[in-house]
Amino acid sequence: MPNAPHESGFYFAQQYSFGSNELGYTGLQPRPDSEGQSIIHAVFSSFISGSTTDDSNCSPGADGGDGVSCAVDVPTSYADNYVLSVVKAGDTTWNGTLIDTTTGVSTHIGSYNLPAGTANIQSSQLGFVEYFPWNSEASHSCASLPYTAVTFGTPYTQTDSAGSGALSDAYEYGDCVGQVDFQSQRPSPDEVEISVGFKQKS
C-alpha cells in the first residue's frame, strides 16, 4: 500500500467464514507516523459468540458485539508486500500473523479460541476497503472521502487438497456508489489495485 496516506481511517480487510454467519476478519489500517517511522496497524478478529482469548494483544468483543479483537502497531514500510496469515494452532485455537514478504519479518497479531465444534475456514468470502469513521456518523458527504489506495493479492492456503485461490474484480457498494472516484484495475491476474476518495488540496 505504498500510495496510501499515513492517516487513520481506512481498513483494508479480508473476511473469512467458519460457517453460516460465523465470521473472522484480518487486515491492515494505516496510521500516522510516529517518531519518524511509518506505522501499520494489523488486525485479527473473531465475530463468533463464545470466542475467548488470553493473548495480551487481544480483548473481548468485536465492533461492539460478540467475539474477540486482536491488533498490533508495527513500525514498517508501506512499500513492502504483506501476507496476513490465519492458521489453526490447535483444536479450537487460531493465530493471526503479519508477514512482511519483502524483509521476511513476521509479527504476531493475536490468538483466539473458537467454541468447540466450530468448522474450519470455508472456501469463499469477501475483502473490502472501509472508511470506518463513517460507521459512527449519522450522515456523511461522499465528496469528503479522503483518498487512499491499496493492492490486494490472491488468497492462498497451505492446506492439502484445498485447491488454489482466486481473486475476483473489485466493485463499489454502499450509498456513495459513483460519487467517490472509485478506480480498480488488474496489473496482473493475481492482483487488484483499488483507489478511492479525493486528495486534499494544499
Instruction: Please give the chain's pLDDT, 202 residues, in tens.
Output: 999 999 999 999 999 999 878 999 999 999 999 999 999 999 999 999 999 999 999 999 998 899 999 999 999 999 999 999 999 998 999 999 999 999 999 999 999 999 999 999 998 899 999 999 999 888 999 999 999 999 999 998 887 777 788 999 999 999 999 999 999 999 999 999 999 999 987 6
Q: What is d(CA 5, CA 200) in angstroms, rounded to the nearest whole number?
A: 11
Can you give the three-state secondary structure of 103-155, one letter per residue? Answer: CCCEEEEEEEECCCCCCCCCCCCCEEEEEHHHHHCCCCCHHHCECEEEEEECC
pTM of structure: 0.94
CB of 84 within 8 A of CB of 95? no
CB of 75 within 8 A of CB of 17? no
Domains annotated on the chain, with CATH: 10-196 (2.60.120)
